[in-house]
Amino acid sequence: MEQQKMTSNANNAAVVGRFCKLQRPVRDHDGRSRFSERPRILREMNNLDRRMYLVQFDDGATTFLFPDEVVVA
């Protein structure tokens, strides 16, 4: 089975480093529910033709979010 790479687009660097507001509760990789926090976007990438952001919360936890789950500040 062929694996597809997650790629980053240099043209989308405008959102990297910016903070975002969650549109609805999401769970991080440790299973904690997040909502009122404003995570920072670490990377924007495409995986299997889906655009997503890798975000980091204040406590250092990270997770992947889709653009419709956040509003970029």
Nearest to 41 by CA among 71, 14, 70, 16: 16
Q: How confident is the model at residue 67 (pLDDT cuts 50, 70, 90)?
A: very high
CATH topology of domain 15-72: SH3 type barrels. (2.30.30)
Q: How confident is the model at residue 8 (pLDDT cuts 50, 70, 90)?
A: very low
Q: Residue 7: its pLDDT value, please?
A: 43
